[in-house]
Amino acid sequence: VVLLTGATGGFGEAAARYFAKAGASLVLSDLAADRLHALAHELGGKTVALNGDVADPAIAERLVDLALSEFGRLDIAVNNAGIVHDMMPLPKIPADVARRVINVDLMGVFYAMQAQLPVMESHFRATGESAAIVNVASVAGVVGAPMLSVYAAAKHGVVGLTKSAAIEYARRGVRINALCPSFARTPMATDFLDKAGDNRAAAEAAMVQAIPMRRLAEVEEVIAGLVYLADPASSFVTGQTVHIDGGLTAA
């Protein structure tokens, strides 16, 4: 049973399709209700959906309750929902924008794990079966991100939550890791590039300049890392930040 937030985004939809194809039961969530329920309908009978804002702690509780009521357990949680602010110097970022990014990207993961961890630990104590949480952070959670300072701060917070919770739950049957991709070919990046109009190629070149491979990640490449962290075969991997970044953090 897989719980996945941000299910209609670039990474979210690809992950939902992967897990559905692998035979998992899915609990999907997103703010975009129409697209969410269309995806759930397409994926079929072992999929349920609840739209809502991850910045609301009640949504985190309701999603876990839905997993238990529909499927009786929760094995994997992918806390993927996130937003980004426009690129601008720190002093120019409006306070309300900063608060919204922190509330979704950081507090949303905090609320999610508060709801998920007790249920996963309880199942482990009853059955000996472990669970996994994958928090989708960013390479901006492990290095500085000029012009994206609040986004970077939120993602650094996700990494801190991940590492701390992983230590707390290392002997309680829950593995917790953070996936840290660089820019990938998702709407979050392509929408920004589209705004460049005739200068799109130059904008993309600038976006990938710090990446040794000099290209955007493809969604499937990032999902491969997500699957590795979620896979029960990765049973000795916890508290890690897995960088899918074309070598950006190698230096």
Share of the chain above pLDDT 90, in %: 87
Mean pLDDT of 232-245: 98
Distance CA 242, CA 247 (A): 12
What pLDDT is attached to residue 105? 98
From 43-47, 78-82, 168-172, 233-237, the region with the lowest mean pLDDT: 43-47
Distance CA 161, CA 144 (A): 18
Q: Please give the angle made by the CA atoms of 54, 58 and 60, to the nearest 5 degrees.
A: 50
Could you tell me if 52 and 31 are in contact, meaning their C-beta atoms sit under 8 angstroms apart?
yes
Q: Which of 18, 111, 151, 228 is catalytic?
A: 151
What pLDDT is attached to residue 120? 98
Mean pLDDT of 186-203: 83
What pLDDT is attached to residue 19? 98
Identify the CA nearest to 223 among candidates 18, 69, 7: 18
Q: How does 68-101 read in b/e, with b if 16+ C-beta sit within 10 Å?
A: eeebeebbbbbbbbbbbbeeeeeeebeeeebeeb
What pLDDT is attached to residue 203? 85
Mean pLDDT of 156-165: 98
Annotation marks residue 169 as catalytic: no
Asked whether the predicted pLDDT for residue 110 surpasses 90, the reply is yes
Q: What is the pTM of this model?
A: 0.95
What pLDDT is attached to residue 248? 95
The per-residue pLDDT for range 42-97, each reduced to its tens digit, is 998 899 999 999 999 999 999 999 999 999 999 999 999 999 999 999 999 999 99
The per-residue pLDDT for range 119-148, each reduced to its tens digit, is 999 999 999 999 999 999 999 999 999 999
